[in-house]
Structure 1
């Protein structure tokens, strides 16, 4: 008898924002394959009896390749075990959950999705930056920043993105922020458009760096900005006030 696989989104890193369903599934897991993005606050609560497999990826260095991760999920499930694939944010938003879902289904193994709160939503909110606002933005576009916008045939349409009047949120974009800002301006985006880079999500040591499309590359370099970080581009960034306390208490 096969076991079951759960693709669980841990949310943006605070245990208080892990869903009740996610908590219940993790607590009864036989095997947990985890990334680093759930953060120590959540990873420290994994059940002691469970087999814990680190699948973290750090700046291009992978503990396990994607096909190895999927093979382990299938193997453990075929042993009749309850397998949790634990991811930061939501498994289907740049989390490769779709690929893992396909693999598990192809093997005839029962699988359940447990959505998580994406850092693309939660991190700006915690800093008082609403992604939509009746005065400033009526749409949101979420991008991966892993793609080099200057490559010959980018998958993203930067000319179209530059024309958008709403908010742009970029995940995994710290390394390319200079190129991203430049290509948006080259394609017509106003260089004075506000930008915020929020480092380390909902951790106690999180930091916010602000600038404009014209200045953000230099500002980020001077500030020593490092991933993980969420980048927000648009007029809603003007609502951020560094002098105010965090709006939502995320203490567990």
Structure 2
């Protein structure tokens, strides 16, 4: 296995990023944050990447923060406590912002446990596929913390306040099937089919107008803070921009000619 903490492989327009600390269930360290951010930045800058799949090596997706990492490990007696807020500001906040601003769709292929920051890492992706044996755990309350990595924003918007409070306060394990039933994820699939299903979905998205897909993410997220009239105004603004782009003209031409479109905007 490579020494890299994030493995990258590309199949045509689809880039797969694999968190690679399998012995620690791919829990986060500062170094893994740096490699993941760098890989996402490189993908954002590459015109050849049109969809990303994020997954984990071994038997887990991501168990959240590695509590032995020097940035967060409790200080010895007599020393000042660690500033966890600084860790959020330096590592987790930029990671979430990078994911939510990617110019291409991002799929989480969740294999095994996704706990704490690992669960919310997955939920910040555009579509979440999970193997049947996968699980999602908002583990923060078990160590005296609140959901981070965008969890306080994401959970009530995805599943409603009642379920968000239950998941966050109790920290119970939620199976992939239950997560699908809750509307927390897009789909639960057989474990053996996860990689293939994620690949097929990624190739499908990569062939679509990815600029419009990224704009869809931005518009849907942004509309959570708007009135209906404001959302209608924002739709008009974004639609005006997309309507001048190649992909709209190509989509209409292909529809009229009854042929498959070739989308290239990004």
Short-chain TM bin? under 0.3
The TM-score normalised by the length of structure 1 is 0.25
Structure of greater relative contact order (alpha carbons < 8 Å, 6+ residues apart): 1
The TM-score normalised by the length of structure 2 is 0.24
Whichever structure has more strand as a proportion of its residues is 1
